């Protein structure tokens, strides 16, 4: 595959997380500037994630009307343009209100990316998925690292404008790229009656809880254990850096080695071990953070491929992705707040960390049920048995 065809999909992934992940390091400046509490400031991260779940159902009708190229391109232009306006408006209410359309744009684009993989990378679904998930991970890492230095130089509003301007520029290669031009996809209902669809949605929700839970609280865990803010923050950076590498490695090998179930079970077991060791305050925090990163990289890339395995056409992929992301993001958006409330009620992070280890154990249990045979069995558009495209069959 030519690099010029692969690169735009990666660049689209870059746009999908800076407006969410990049907010966290800016909150110490945003809060006094807008005169808001920690709870209100937290909405700047919570609202986009909830929107990614609530507004995922907008994606299939936009796909049918405009196609993946225009629907994704327009959504990401909205993300960049609204991001610039949000950075300029005065007062917390307007900033919060404008966070909603920003989240809607991210929701639509993220839901349609599996459809692009189905259209153009059907023979290598894990590679296609890995392209944009790697972009997502790189964008999140760069945004979190660059936020504070940018804010020192140009302020928090300037940092958000930089993210948004970059987002608009990164959409240009996507719109200029030569895309597949298939007929409008078939209309497919949300597969709410299929047990496999709920198993996939649950799998996505459980791995997202791990991601958002540990990104929210891992640093605070070790600050409470006596680490400095900088050193504890390094654990989160290490976790995300390792997740990036593990995701790339998974994308390169998973279409040719093992099965989706193998990667899900393996990643879940590693996550359970890492979470348990952190909960036990075992010596070796850097190693345990690395284990969590390995798990998250494997799990995210693998789970995002599941709709391509269980659905036949582009309409089915869009419907299943909508259910998976809608349920998953709505559930996982609440995880940091619930874990924080448990910590406040118990006085330590022991129980929240144990809950995350339990989440990994539950993910392992669900992952064992996702065999290749089970993933091949459903027919989202109608029910009954069907003949599948061999290129989309999971190993």
Reference 356, options 341, 326, 335; nearest CA is 335
One pLDDT digit (tens) per residue for the chain, 395 residues: 455 667 888 889 998 888 887 887 787 788 889 988 767 777 887 888 889 889 988 888 888 888 888 899 999 999 999 999 999 999 899 999 999 999 999 999 988 888 888 777 777 777 888 888 888 888 888 887 788 788 889 999 999 999 999 889 988 888 887 666 566 666 777 788 888 999 999 999 999 999 888 887 888 888 889 988 778 878 888 888 899 899 889 888 876 766 788 999 999 999 999 999 999 999 999 999 999 999 999 999 899 888 888 877 778 888 888 899 999 999 988 888 888 888 888 888 899 999 999 999 999 999 999 887 787 766 655 443 344 443 343 33
The CATH fold assigned to 1-178 is: Growth Hormone; Chain: A; (1.20.1250)
> What is the residue extent of each domain of the chain?
1-178, 191-380
What SS3 class is residue 163?
A: helix
Reference 185, options 71, 73, 83; nearest CA is 71
Within this chain, domains 1-178 and 191-380 share the same CATH topology: yes
What SS3 class is residue 149?
A: helix
Token digits for 330? 């709505």
Q: What is the CATH number of domain 191-380?
A: 1.20.1250.20
Instruction: Determine the distance from the C-alpha atom of residue 292 to the mean position of all C-alpha atoms in its chain, rounded to a whole number.
Output: 16
Token digits for 164? 């948004």
Instruction: Provide CB contacts within 8 A for 284, sequence distance 6+.
Output: 277
Helix axes 3-15, 59-88, angle to 10 degrees: 60
């Amino acid at each position: 595959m030519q690099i010029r065809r692969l690169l735009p999909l990666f660049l689209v992934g870059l746009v999908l997380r800076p407006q969410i992940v990049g907010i966290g390091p800016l909150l110490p400046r945003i809060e006094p500037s807008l005169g808001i509490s920690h709870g209100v400031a937290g909405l700047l991260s919570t609202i986009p994630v909830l929107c990614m779940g609530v507004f995922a159902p907008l994606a299939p009708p936009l796909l049918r009307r405009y196609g993946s190229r225009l629907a994704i391109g327009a959504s990401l232009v909205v993300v960049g343009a609204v991001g610039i306006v949000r950075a300029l408006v005065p007062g917390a209410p307007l900033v919060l209100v404008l966070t909603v359309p920003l989240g809607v744009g991210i929701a639509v684009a993220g839901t349609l990316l599996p459809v692009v993989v189905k259209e153009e990378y059907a023979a290598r679904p894990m590679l296609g998925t890995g392209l944009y998930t790697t972009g997502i991970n790189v964008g999140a890492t760069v945004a979190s690292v660059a936020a504070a230095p940018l804010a020192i130089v140009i302020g928090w509003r300037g940092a958000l404008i930089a993210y948004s301007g970059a987002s608009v520029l990164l959409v240009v290669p996507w719109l200029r790229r030569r895309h597949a031009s298939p007929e409008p996809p078939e209309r497919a209902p949300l597969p709410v009656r299929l047990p496999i669809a709920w198993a996939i949605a649950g799998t996505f929700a459980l791995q997202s809880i791990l991601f958002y839970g540990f990104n929210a609280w891992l640093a605070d865990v070790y600050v409470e254990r006596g680490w400095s803010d900088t050193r504890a923050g390094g654990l989160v950076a290490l976790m995300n850096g390792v997740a990036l590498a593990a995701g790339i490695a998974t994308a390169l090998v998973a279409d040719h080695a093992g099965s989706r179930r193998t990667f899900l079970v393996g990643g879940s077991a590693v996550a359970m071990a890492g979470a348990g060791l952190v909960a036990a305050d075992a010596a070796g925090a850097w190693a345990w953070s690395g284990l969590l990163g390995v798990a998250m990289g494997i799990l995210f890339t693998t789970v995002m491929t599941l709709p391509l395995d269980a659905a036949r056409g582009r309409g089915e992929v869009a419907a299943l992705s909508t259910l998976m992301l809608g349920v998953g993001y709505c559930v996982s958006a609440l995880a940091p707040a619930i874990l924080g409330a448990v910590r406040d009620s118990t006085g330590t992070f022991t129980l929240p960390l144990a809950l995350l280890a339990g989440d990994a154990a539950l993910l392992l249990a669900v992952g064992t049920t996702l065999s290749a045979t089970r993933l091949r069995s459903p027919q989202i558009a109608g029910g009954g048995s069907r003949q599948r495209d061999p290129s989309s069959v999971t190993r």
